[in-house]
Amino acid sequence: MSARPGTREDDGPVLRFGFSYEHVQALAHSAVRRHARSAGMDASDRFEAAHFAVVEYLYTAQEPVTSLDLFLAGVRGLNRLRQGDLRERGFASRGPVSRDPGAGPWSARSAWRYWHQPQPTGPEEKATDRVALGQVMATLTRSQALALLALAGHDGDHQAAATALGVSGRVLERRLWRARAAFLAAWHEHEAPPRRWRRDQGACRRVMRSKPASRADAARTLTDIAGAFDGEARVAGAELLPRLKAADPGRYGSWDARDVGWFLREHGIGRHGVTVCVNGRPAKRWGHRLEDVTTALAEVTAPGTPAEQAARSLAA
């Protein structure tokens, strides 16, 4: 078949009815240039819509077509693109199909209902969230679960929650911060958190850095720490890590002071002033009490999850 009159021999292979690929592209470009209503839309989207409409019309026609026929097909493709854009932005209909640009975005009743009156959450989502909540609460430490439950039980009143726990407001805030960070780290495990929570990712990583994989690991670590006291009632914090490394270098060889601090704080073991001997003279240093370690060990080895233990403590 010879090339259609009006086309060059170097316009490429003939597609159908004597139209070449280059001729089809030229008609699509011409439709884009002359279609003023879609001028504000993305140029690549406009050309793709016009080109697809021209090719579709060319290959579905039962009789030979003209350049004008293909040009008008490209214009109709751009009209459909524009109407689809108006529909997605919620413009109301002017007639049975077309949209009215003068009506303004979100003027369509269906669009308003969709965006401003969302469907209620189904029972599947609620059931899944309830199960996930229990699983995530089980991963928290007892002090973290106790802080969250106390705050929820007092309707968000921080002062009342702190009084119920017998701690100061500042201590409760620290516990809540760690509890929220650990909660988010477990809730969004293996997935990207929402943008409003991404600022907590660093906190989540720090909280999870020294967190044991299981309660058995926590119990073993607390037992090792209790053994590091070597019968003393109080030990300086600077002496605790060297004793742990000397007792079990394979387990604690890579730990630093920050790892020990995070682990102790996560189990409610605070710092206290202790008296140590420096160059033959007594000196005050920050340290820890054996009593706090044994209490934390008893809580970790108690039956039930940390959340259940915290609930029983609040009920008592």
pLDDT: which is higher, 163 or 187: 163
Phi and psi angles of residue 256, each rounded to the nearest 5 degrees, phi first: -125, 180
pLDDT at residue number 48: 92
pLDDT at residue number 212: 46
pLDDT at residue number 173: 82
pLDDT at residue number 311: 56
Give the pLDDT band (50/70/90) at residue 102. Answer: low
End-to-end CA, the chain: 94
* Half-sphere CA count of 156, side-chain side, radius 13 A: 0
pLDDT at residue number 150: 86
Question: What percent of the chain clears pLDDT 90, i.e. is strictly above it?
Answer: 11
Helix extents (H) in the chain:
21-34, 43-60, 67-88, 109-116, 123-139, 142-153, 158-165, 169-187, 201-209, 215-228, 237-247, 249-252, 257-266, 290-301, 306-315
pLDDT at residue number 142: 79
* Half-sphere CA count of 59, side-chain side, radius 13 A: 10
Q: What is the pLDDT of residues 289-310, one digit of tens each?
A: 888 888 888 877 776 655 555 5
Is the per-residue pLDDT at 314 higher than 70? no
The DSSP bridge partners found for residue 285 are 274
* Half-sphere CA count of 273, side-chain side, radius 13 A: 3
Is the per-residue pLDDT at 9 higher than 60? no
Q: What is the pLDDT of residues 178-208, one digit of tens each?
A: 788 778 777 776 665 555 554 454 544 454 4
Mean pLDDT of all residues in 247-260:
83
Alpha carbons 89 and 192: distance in angstroms, whole number: 28
pLDDT at residue number 104: 66
Strand order in the sheet with 234-236: 234-236, 281-289, 272-278
Q: 10 Å Cβ neighbour count for 184?
A: 20
Q: What is the pLDDT of residues 31-52, one digit of tens each?
A: 999 998 888 888 888 999 999 9
Is the per-residue pLDDT at 255 higher than 90? no
CA distances from 5 to 8, 18, 27, 217 (A): 8, 8, 15, 84
Tell me the whole-structure pTM to 2 decimals. Answer: 0.39
